[in-house]
Amino acid sequence: MVSLSSSHRNVGDAERVASTVGGALLALYGLSRRSPVGLALAGLGGVLVYRGATGHCPAFAALGVSTADGATPAPVQVVEAVTVAVPRERAYAFWRRLENLPRFMHHLERVRDLGDGRSHWVATGPGPLPDIEWLAEITEERENEVLAWRSLLGADMVNAGHVRFADAPGGGTEVRVRIAYQAPGGAVGASVAKRLDPLFGRMVKEDIRRFKHLLEAGEIPTVDGQPSGREK
């Protein structure tokens, strides 16, 4: 990771990683909107990526704030639920084949199942920035009911996920998803994470919406309303 001299660094290591990953995801989300607001979000994402890459935050410097020796960050969670008009076994089997995740999770480039409950994940970096990669392991698995995973120690993208599948009262399957990611360290970083949380929540919500469309219609609607991608 690119860095300035220690005298200019005012962002802690955990917060640098969170800023880089969060900025990359925010930039991707903004660019996918294809609108002035989206471009503004992409610009904010670029600022966060710079902040993480260099370890220097101009705003912190102006305020005389430093989190370079900050505390361990707290996780932030996003929870979403959706009812899908397909049998529970089918919904679970589609999600359990981890290679399917990039088909509805917009920020993912690819996921490869390594066997023994481990997998390799790649998220697309915005613009010229490199991809973000990490290893994950399945922590809980009950066929047609529950699937949970978490990133392994040292991952660039510190995260965890938990998906529960249940028969919906009116038919179909209720899918409840909980995604947790690492918030920036320190009190200031926690405040930034709280502000960005609704944006990440919106990203997860749109991912789940695409999952629903993909299973029910066999395709995902694009921003312009045209279908993109078929279920395999």
The domain locations on the chain are 13-63, 75-230
Q: Would you say residue 232 has pLDDT above 50?
A: no
pTM of whole model > 0.75? no
Q: In whole angstroms, give the CA distance from residue 93 to residue 116.
A: 17
pLDDT band at 224 (very low <50, low <70, confident <90, very high): very low
DSSP state letters, 32-92:
HH-SHHHHHHHHHHHHHHHHHHHS--HHHHHHT---TTPPPPPEEEEEEEEEESS-HHHHH
CATH architecture for the domain at 75-230? 2-Layer Sandwich (3.30)
Q: Poorest-confidence range of 5-14, 24-33, 122-131, 179-188? A: 5-14
Amino acid at 231: E
* Spacing of C-alpha 71 from chain mean position: 23
Stretch 152-158: mean pLDDT, rounded?
74
- Over the stretch 68-92, which tens digit does the pLDDT of each residue have? 455 445 566 789 999 999 999 999 9
- Over the stretch 1-39, which tens digit does the pLDDT of each residue have? 444 444 566 555 555 666 677 667 767 777 776 676 666
Q: In whole angstroms, give the CA distance from residue 49 to residue 154.
A: 19
Q: In whole angstroms, give the CA distance from residue 85 to residue 63.
A: 52
**Among 229, 212, 228, residue whose Cα is nearest residue 90:** 212
Residue 124 CB: number of other CB atoms within 10 A?
Answer: 17
